[in-house]
């Protein structure tokens, strides 16, 4: 039923634990036939009193490698930014999901597809003001490397996380090809200076 590889977030809620994660369908194909893998994002609620586990689909799109604003890790969050598999392991875009909805409906609220022959890696979320506790959860940027297979060109994209189309606010052309990759990490200069 539920094959979780890349959990997105989890938090305590009354007498329950809530987790948001992709459910990897056809998990048996994960290593040798990745193009057959389909991951749909679900919200899983584990009632600690009754032991009842309920699952709610958040999106039926083929999504994985999702991130959130790191300030909300382990806390109830509203927004998730997930990579679109087309098919996996190629990532053709990024979508923004609103996981706060309790209705059973598609929860994509913003989308950025990279275009024909263009594929990216796992997105990262970068808060505009990471030290501001009053900032909106989605006040920041979604960043990813994207490679255009036809032009042979790689770019670093910076997208506005609040905009309905995840508008590109900067596209930095890279001097060399950046290979497709799954797991990324954004590190602030202040963190680097502590090393």
Binding-site residues for Fe cation: 6, 183
- CA–CA–CA angle 18, 20, 21 (5° rounding): 135
- Residue 159: strand pairing partners: 142, 168
Q: Which residues are annotated as a binding site?
A: 6, 183
Beta bridge pairs of residue 6: none
The answer to whether 142 touches 122, Cβ cutoff 8 Å, is no
Q: Look up residue 190 and give its DSSP letter.
A: H
**Best CA proximity match to 53, nearest among 79, 80, 26, 19:** 19
Cα angle 107, 55, 34 (rounded to 5 degrees) comes to 75
Instruction: Determine what percent of the chain falls in helix, strand and coil, rounding each to the nearest 5.
Output: 5, 45, 50
């Amino acid at each position: 039923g539920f094959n979780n590889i890349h959990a997105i977030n989890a938090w305590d809620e009354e007498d329950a634990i809530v987790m948001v994660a992709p459910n990897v369908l056809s998990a048996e194909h994960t290593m040798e036939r990745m193009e057959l893998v389909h991951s749909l994002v679900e919200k899983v609620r584990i009632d600690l009193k009754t032991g009842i586990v309920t699952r709610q689909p958040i999106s039926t799109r083929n999504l994985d490698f999702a991130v959130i604003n790191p300030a909300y890790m382990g806390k109830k969050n509203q927004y998730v930014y997930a990579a679109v598999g087309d098919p996996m392991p190629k990532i053709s875009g990024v979508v923004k999901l609103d996981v706060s909805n309790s209705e059973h409906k598609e929860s994509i609220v913003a989308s950025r597809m990279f275009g024909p022959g263009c594929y990216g890696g796992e997105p990262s979320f970068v808060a505009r003001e990471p030290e501001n506790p009053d900032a909106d959860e989605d006040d920041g940027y979604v960043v990813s490397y994207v490679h255009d297979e036809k032009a042979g060109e790689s770019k670093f994209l910076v997208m506005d996380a609040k905009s309905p189309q995840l508008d590109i606010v900067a596209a930095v052309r890279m001097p060399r090809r950046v290979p497709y990759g799954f797991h990324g990490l954004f590190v602030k200069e202040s963190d680097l200076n502590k090393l």
